[in-house]
Amino acid sequence: MALLETHGLIAQYGQFKALFGIDLHVDPGECVAIIGANGAGKTTLMRSITGVIRNVPDQIHHNGQPIGALSPDQILRRGIAMVPEGRKLFPSLTVEENLLIGGQVRRGSGRWSLEEIYSLFPILKDRRRSPGTALSGGQQQMVAIGRALMSNPELLLCDEISLGLAPVVIRDIYAALPAIRATGAAVIIVEQDITRALAVADRVYCLMEGRVTLTARAKEVSREAIHAAYFGEPA
Amino acid sequence: MIWIDVLVQGILLGGLYALFAAGLSLVFGIMRLVNLAHGDLIVFAAFAILLITGTLGLNPFLAALLAAPLMFAAGWTLQRFVLNRVLGKDILPPLLVTFGLSVALQNGMLEIFSADSQRLSVGRLESASIDLGVVTVGTLPLLTFASAVGVIFVLNRIFYTTALGRAFRAVSDDPTTASLMGLNPKSIFAIATGLAMVIVTLAALYLGMRSNFDPSIGPARLLYAFQAVIIGGLGSLWGTLAGGAIIGVAQTFGAQINPEWQILAGHIAFLVVLLIRPRGLFPRAVD
């Protein structure tokens, strides 16, 4: 059974329709990349899965159960955590408090604890008493990832984690991915950097204007196919 | 010498205003909600304490202890089923709803308790005093001020050292992201309003022991609370205590010069602070 499935997922903001029937599935432990240009609907898809945008119950299933109408906190309790676009650390909280907030709802006796997060991102231990938003962009991204891991999710959603960061910083952040996957967690990566997405993912979906234009195994997909799916025209 | 006495009495009076204001400050700090019924809720709590003292024959302190959980439940219910529905980007609906609640509470209390002035009687404590050498202070005002300091100290501890306080700050910063972390902002708002009503009960206890109260005095209490919160800086709890003290001192000094100037002097102090520091004395760094 798929860990997460969407069937004809439709999402809209008032009158504006952003997703037109997305079919997607993620298997346990799998890493799936979602690529697409700005406005393709990637973030809307993440917001739908995590319940920030409420949907029709049957359009999203988790372990076979409909979750489309659940609230974000109910979805987190089911083991789906998100690293939101723009990191969204809490400015009033220190680094450590940001991490603790993420662990306020914990599932079972999973791997992740404060100590484990600090060993994954050692720099955070030195900065643990600083306000979260006083850190550099890369360090803030580490806090955002750590905060999401603290609930011991079985599915981690990473929305644009490399956006606005220097290449060397992005490399450090992606270096944490194997340790995250080693816990058995599945990961969805929303990424503008196609090369990086294809390098780490098992499968890739490309969105354009709220529709899936490509589904492929990351190792097998051709540049031309990606180009056509991304821009809607052949390379 | 007399002026030292006036200063001390003013600071102690400020403790009462800080108690009026602490609940308002808490709720505003967490959910940016200005509760226009706050003063009427203080009067309502005072009547609740009076009712308990009358029915069970308890002294007001014990009656307040019984009233506190009831007021917590009332606050929780009010937030959960009424105020949460109108919270959003637009600040007008919650203002209108709490204004309506204020009017309804005043008229409801008038109907049930009549317009007669009431008082919570504590016997000798009302006139007891302590000689501090330079000045003599009333035991009750001193107790009021100590309670205000205690309330603000405990609220600060809750805010900065507990998981609940962390949750308060997180939902205050960003409710959507907080919900992605598994917090339910609406439940947390309900707990915050419940907590504010516990402080309201304490404020009501001291209000009722210090002076007469009737169903119509809520809005003036709201005004003092509001001024204390704004002088202190929105969302700053220690600032609220300082704000209360400034209003209290201004009022006692005004009254010393001319008894008719007491209330006016408090308002003038408020205006002066606003002119010099429009964001209050201790504004929160992050808004």
Beta-carbon contacts of A12 under 8 Å, excluding residues fewer than 6 positions away, are A18, A19
Among partner residues A50, A71, A104, which is closest to B163 by beta-carbon distance? A104
Does residue A111 surpass a pLDDT of 90? no
What is the phi/psi pair of residue B109, to 5°? Answer: -70, -35
CA distance A74 to chain B (A): 7
Report strand pairing: A155-159 vs A80-83.
parallel
- The crossing angle, in degrees rounded to 10, of helices B139-161 and B185-210 is 170
Domain residue spans in chain B?
A: 2-276
The string of pLDDT tens digits covering residues B143-162 is: 999 999 999 999 999 999 99
The string of pLDDT tens digits covering residues B232-278 is: 988 789 999 999 999 999 999 999 999 999 999 999 999 999 999 99
At B127, the pLDDT band (50, 70, 90 cuts) reads confident
Residues from chain A contacting residue B30 (CB–CB below 8 Å): none
**What does the block give as tokens for A79?**
């083991």
Does the beta carbon of A84 lie under 8 angstroms from any beta carbon of chain B?
Answer: yes
User: What letter would DSSP give residue B192?
Assistant: H
pLDDT of residue A105: 84
CB spacing of B181 vs A105 below 8 angstroms: yes
The reported pTM is 0.91
Q: One-letter amino acid identity for B261?
A: W
Does the beta carbon of A82 lie under 8 angstroms from any beta carbon of chain B?
Answer: yes
- The answer for A65, left when phi > 0, alpha when psi is -120 to 50, beta otherwise, is beta
pLDDT of residue B145: 97
Does residue B286 surpass a pLDDT of 60? no
Domain residue spans in chain A?
A: 4-92+154-231
Pick the CATH number of A4-92+154-231 from 3.30.70.60, 3.40.50.300, 3.10.400.10, 3.30.450.30: 3.40.50.300
The string of pLDDT tens digits covering residues A172-183 is: 999 999 999 999
At A235, the pLDDT band (50, 70, 90 cuts) reads low
CA distance B183 to B167: 7
Does residue A66 surpass a pLDDT of 80? yes
Q: Is A198 in contact with A218 (CB distance < 8 Å)?
A: yes
Does the beta carbon of A146 lie under 8 angstroms from any beta carbon of chain B?
Answer: no
pLDDT of residue B110: 97
Instruction: Provide the 10 A C-beta neighbour count for residue B71.
Output: 25
The string of pLDDT tens digits covering residues B50-97 is: 999 999 999 999 999 999 999 999 999 999 999 999 998 898 999 999
CA distance B17 to chain A (A): 27
Does residue A43 surpass a pLDDT of 50? yes
Does residue B285 surpass a pLDDT of 60? no
* Smallest CA–CA distance from A102 into chain B, residue: B181
pLDDT of residue B235: 74
* CB environment A123-159: b (16+ within 10 A), e (fewer): ebeebbeebbbebeebbbbbbbbbbbbbbbbbbbbbb
CA distance A3 to chain B (A): 19
Instruction: Provide the 10 A C-beta neighbour count for residue B65.
Output: 15
* Smallest CA–CA distance from A47 into chain B, residue: B180
**Average pLDDT of the residues of chain A:** 93
CB spacing of A101 vs B183 below 8 angstroms: yes
Q: One-letter amino acid identity for A15?
A: Q
Does residue A22 surpass a pLDDT of 70? yes
CB spacing of A101 vs B166 below 8 angstroms: yes
Does residue B135 surpass a pLDDT of 70? yes
Does residue B287 surpass a pLDDT of 50? no
Higher pLDDT, A8 or B133: A8
* Smallest CA–CA distance from A156 into chain B, residue: B180
The fold of the B2-276 domain, in CATH, is ABC transporter involved in vitamin B12 uptake, BtuC (1.10.3470)
Does residue A116 surpass a pLDDT of 60? yes
**What does the block give as tokens for B228?**
């204390």
Instruction: Provide the 10 A C-beta neighbour count for residue B276.
Output: 8
The string of pLDDT tens digits covering residues B194-237 is: 999 999 999 999 999 999 999 999 999 999 999 999 999 887 89
Lookup result for tokens 């809720």:
B41
The string of pLDDT tens digits covering residues A47-58 is: 999 999 988 889
CB spacing of A52 vs B180 below 8 angstroms: yes
- The answer for A159, left when phi > 0, alpha when psi is -120 to 50, beta otherwise, is beta
Higher pLDDT, A106 or B107: B107
Instruction: Provide the 10 A C-beta neighbour count for residue B39.
Output: 27
CA distance B183 to B166: 11
What is the phi/psi pair of residue A66, to 5°? Answer: -70, 130
